[in-house]
A and B are shown apart, each in its own frame.
Chain A
Amino acid sequence: MNEILIIARKELLSVVRERRVLFTTLVLPILIMPLLMFGPILLFGNAARQTQESVQKVGVVGVPTVVLEELRKARVEPIEVANPQEAVQNREVQAALVFENGRYIIYGRLSSGATQSALVVEKVQAALRAYKDQVVAEQLRARGIGTDILEPFSVETQDASREQERAAGLFAFLIPFFLVSFIQAGGMPVAVDATAGEKEKGTLEALLAAPVPLIQVLLGKGLAVFVMSLLSTFAAVAGLLLGGGVFRNLFAAQLQAVQNGENQAQLGGALALDPLGYLAILVTAVLFALLIIAIMISLGLYARSFKEAQSYLSPLSLVMLIPLLFLQFSDFLKLQDWYFALPLVNVMLALSAIVKGAATATQLLITWASTLAYGALALYLAYRNFQREDVVFRN
């Protein structure tokens, strides 16, 4: 046990001396998480608000004067154009409105997601809707009918999800993804340095010549990777929770404006878990860390150099995307208990369920037991790799 701690301490000391690694694994997550979470929302929110408040040019062809007035009221400036489609394509105008044969056609650049043009199209649609309501109301009045006939009943939608799920918001999706990503990304530099790095630098032979059983060398290195993985993950979660709070205070007005605007954005969320929930997240994350660390060390040992190790380990990040897709569409599936035995997928599903407060004891036990079994298998393979002379002296 003592040797394991001595080796882990040495690995961590090497990391502490490498400021670049310290910055990318511990400092960067704290700084980058609030930016990742709130930056796009603020940016898009501000842009959307400005689009609502400012006046944009809209090309018009054959539009009646009364509709032109409605457009002006909706803060757009109608301009006669010869070819509306071309004018939009060339960005001479943000959108265009054509009236022919009793039909309004709106042109906009809609194929590339959230564009300013799409927001202006919404403004034009709103103006037309307002005009249409006005015309319908006038015609009903002319026939002596009240406008309440248009709304014979009201519709109200209420969120029936659990309190934790409502509070979590985007976190139900982001927490599993970030936990899994940062466990891998935080441990990777140490895993590479402790394995392929030692081989490339010529330090491994001296260590293996010391009177320490191989399994202890392996566990010592694994412990160092584990510590860095968890520290990096805590940094990311701290960045998400604390940084999110700071962001909310600093940009309270802007965020409120985005929330109140027509284009409502979901502003992250908050974890509303009891202590058992937090404990369940910790257990799941720790077990997953054991699995991913054993895989990283096994691959790192096999590599001859830093570069080769990175080329083996980088695809792991892509592998993480597979369960992420699963998680994204999990709501459309009827979750079976055996899904919680699928490697990686189980951890994502379990974490998401814990954050939503929907995890069952069976699901958690299957996740933990299977992840522990996969971790033990990966550790055994790493140990076998370490015993192989053709792997250890492969340089």
Chain B
Amino acid sequence: MIEVVNLQKSYQKLQAVKGISFSVQPGEVYGLLGPNGAGKTTTLRMLATLLKPTGGSAKVAGFDVLRQPLEVRRNLGIVNGGMKVYDKLTGYEVLDFFGSFYDLWGPKLKERIAWAAELLHIEPSVLSKQVRQMSTGMQQKIVIARAILHQPQVLLLDEATAGLDVFARRALLDFVKQYAGLGKTLVYSTHVMSEAEEVCDRVGFIDHGLLVFEGSLQEALELGSGNLERAFIRRLEQAA
């Protein structure tokens, strides 16, 4: 469902992503793990067609990110930690706005909003509030609801738990597992190893724009004697 081959991104003198390859299958949660500035966000933005790769190729849901950006976006949802939605609109208006880009109207839209709200534990009454009147955790849930409203085949989550309290974080991690259970393809990017350990089936360690390890969660744990964080540090030190 996601195929990345030698993907690269350069900004003048800086090479942010130096040629990474990985693939993610339906029903799988792939953890893209790395320190700040490793190239995780750039990689996910390329997959979401927000940035254009300067080398290599990537396919999302069978569509090429360079040649078929609109088709990619129709089959993809993306959430990152810094992403926000329009604070002067109500939760319902936000979902109505984004839903309309995916031909979701009337009863179908209502049905999808109810589905997303149930999955993310959003009280229906909250949706009539303006986003600025909601808690940070609830705002993040609206951001996620916006990303899954069209039930995309591929969901990219980039530091999606940043700034969330323990309850909102728990709800998000539960949601990730549930969504993968629907046969969807997820990339979960984080630098919090405990989260990755809980939700990911396979992981890739990225550092300085290079994928320095890729394997199943089990393989990664074995590398760190049962501890993902230790495996991560050990592998990055070996690569340095």
Contact = CB atoms under 8 A, between A and B. Distances in A.
Contacts of A213: 70
Nearest to A13: B89
B88 A206 contact: no
B80 interface: yes
Contacts of B48: 209
Given A209-B78, A211-B73, A213-B70, A18 B83 contact: no
Contact of A206 (B76, B83, B130): B83
B93 to A, nearest CB: 7
A202 B82 contact: yes
Interface stretch (B98-106, B115-123, B190-198, B221-229): B98-106
Contacts of B52: 389
Contact of B11 (A14, A18, A208, A390): A390
Interface string A1-37: 0110010001001100110000000000000000000
Contacts of A389: 50-52
B211 to A, nearest CB: 22
A13 B84 contact: no
Interface residues of B, number: 32
B164 to A, nearest CB: 15
B74 interface: yes
Contacts of B143: 206
Contacts of B82: 202, 205
A211 B102 contact: yes
A211 B101 CA distance: 7
Q: In terms of DSSP, what is the predominant structure of the interface of chain A?
A: helix
A10 B89 contact: yes
> Which size class do A's interface residues fall under?
20 to 34
A13 B93 CA distance: 10
Contacts of B88: 13-14, 17-18
Given A10-B97, A206-B85, A390-B11, A211 B70 contact: yes
B85 to A, nearest CB: 6
B43 to A, nearest CB: 14
Contacts of A321: none
B101 A212 contact: yes
Given A18-B88, A202-B82, A203-B86, A208 B50 contact: yes
B87 interface: yes
B219 to A, nearest CB: 32
A334 interface: no
A148 B71 CA distance: 95
B74 A6 contact: no
10 A-B pairs closest in CB distance: A17-B88, A202-B84, A211-B73, A210-B101, A211-B74, A14-B88, A211-B70, A202-B82, A209-B78, A10-B97
Given A18-B88, A202-B83, A203-B84, A210 B98 contact: yes
A209 B50 contact: yes
B141 interface: no
Nearest to A206: B83
27 contacts: A6-B100, A6-B101, A10-B86, A10-B89, A13-B88, A14-B86, A14-B89, A17-B88, A201-B84, A201-B87, A202-B83, A203-B83, A205-B50, A205-B78, A205-B80, A206-B78, A206-B85, A206-B146, A206-B147, A209-B73, A209-B76, A209-B147, A213-B70, A389-B51, A390-B11, A393-B50, A393-B51
